[in-house]
Amino acid sequence: MSLHTTELGDQGPRLVFCHGLFGQGKNWTQIAKAFADRHRVTLVDMPHHGRSSWSDSFSYADVADQVAALIDDADPVTLVGHSMGGKAAMVLALRHPRLVSRLCVVDVSPVAYAHGSEFREYVRAMQALDLAALESRSDADRALAPAVQSPTVRSFLLQNLRRDPGGEGRGWSWQPNLEVLGRDLDAVAGWPEEEVSGAAPYDGPVLWVAGATSPYVGPEHAPVMEQLFPRVRRVTVKGAGHWVHSEQPEIFVQVLRRFVE
């Protein structure tokens, strides 16, 4: 398995960013540029996403171990993960604590969520798109509109649509592994209790960033978070939902900079 990465900066401590479901490493570019003058920044295309390779199943242990393979034992990193990437980052810190000097978890908790139906509908809508009939990205936007009514969500999903001029027909293809992600969506929305049950709590500093209007981090999630990550500090960002770093980038950079510097 190979993971595609993008590197920014050439000096200072290393930051590694992990994106969420249907995302790509480049989703973190704006944030990464704010740190590239003092840090070596790595943006990861997570397994089954972007330009990274696919396998025939999804599990957080596998994903965490693949990201861990990018980190040198002698050079532990500040690990930042959003949503799916946040769960992978937490699992990595629990399974490979020596690789993580600090952990930032963005708007997700170490729990299984029940609200995965909307993501299942997104997968179905993307799979149902007739790629051979597309003339342009705007055609794809119109075709997705009945199933995905939010223009913001459609724009986010369509970032995954790529055109290969050398491909067959018009050469459109989806970068995510829709078959596996759709089939294993319960694992994506879940929490790998058995895969981390033998791990000791991660004793490094942890920043837990939540969007004020997001349902993914609430008071009911604090006990399990504190059990696994006893040095956790929670920050709630006003005017932000689940995509905290894209909805309030300046505030997110300020919060993260205080944490890492």
Distance CA 153, CA 158 (A): 9
Distance CA 49, CA 80 (A): 17
Contact 14, 78 (CB under 8 A): yes
**Helix, strand, coil percent content, the chain, rounded in steps of 5:** 40, 15, 40
Radius of gyration of the chain (CA): 18
Instruction: Mark whether 83 is an active-site residue.
Output: yes
Distance CA 52, CA 46 (A): 7
Using pLDDT thresholds of 50, 70 and 90, give the confidence band for residue 168. low
CA 258 from centre of chain = 22
**Least-confidence region, from 54-58, 113-117, 128-132, 147-151:** 113-117
- CATH value of 5-113+190-260 in 3.40.50.300, 3.50.50.60, 3.40.50.1820, 3.40.50.1000: 3.40.50.1820
Contact 153, 145 (CB under 8 A): no
- pLDDT for 117: 76
Distance CA 132, CA 137 (A): 12
- pLDDT for 227: 97
Instruction: Indicate whether 164 pLDDT > 80.
Output: no
The active-site residue out of 55, 101, 179, 195 is 179
Q: Got the DSSP string for 203-237?
A: -S-EEEEEETT-SSS-GGGHHHHHHH-TTEEEEEE
Exposure of 101 by Cβ count < 10 A (0-12 exposed, 13-18 middle, 19+ buried)?
Answer: middle
The strand pairing partners of 232, in sequence order, are 206
Instruction: Mark whether 179 is an active-site residue.
Output: yes
Contact 216, 210 (CB under 8 A): yes
Give the residue-averaged pLDDT of 166-176: 76
- pLDDT for 210: 98
Residues 6+ apart with CB under 8 A from 239: 212, 247, 248
Instruction: Mark whether 49 is an active-site residue.
Output: no
pLDDT in tens, 4-20: 999 999 999 999 999 99
Instruction: Indicate whether 97 pLDDT > 90.
Output: yes
- Burial 108-129, CB ≥16 within 10 A → b, else e: bbbbebeeeeebeebbebbeeb
pLDDT in tens, 7-53: 999 999 999 999 999 999 999 999 999 999 999 999 999 999 999 99
pLDDT in tens, 184-233: 999 999 999 999 988 999 999 999 999 999 999 999 999 999 999 999 99
The active-site residue out of 82, 96, 242, 245 is 242
Instruction: Indicate whether 169 pLDDT > 90.
Output: no
For residue 24, is it left (φ>0), alpha (ψ between -120 and 50) or beta?
beta
Angle, vertex CA 114, rays to CA 202 and CA 91, nearest 5: 20
Distance CA 244, CA 105 (A): 11
Mean pLDDT of the chain: 94
Distance CA 1, CA 130 (A): 29
Distance CA 192, CA 92 (A): 12
The active-site residue out of 49, 52, 83, 109 is 83
Domain positions in the chain = 5-113+190-260, 117-183
